[in-house]
Amino acid sequence: MAINAKGTMLVLRAVEAAMAKQKPRMHQSPRHGTWRSRGRDSIVVLRSINGTMVAPGMFSYVASKYAVIGIVKTASIDNVKNHIRVNNVAPAYTETAMWKRV
């Protein structure tokens, strides 16, 4: 929990604060020549597929990854006012030597 959930939350808060101070990116419409804000870019949190599915014997790990989903969803809502998008991606398993031992 300390690394997966709390670590994600602390890093996310630090990045949000830095990005909120940045000037929004502007975009000029090629069709109309008008300028509009494109926001301040995105924050993408990398999490595990175990945040959406369970695995036997991985209670703490799965719980911490479920927590990351909630943290990212809340950060996404909190940052609408700052024009910062917050999302997460969950890669599936990768066949490695470690995975073969499991």
| Residues annotated as catalytic (active site), given as ranges | 61, 65
CA proximity to 76, closest of 87, 90, 65: 87
CA proximity to 50, closest of 63, 67, 36, 62: 62
**Do 90 and 47 touch, CB atoms closer than 8 A?**
yes
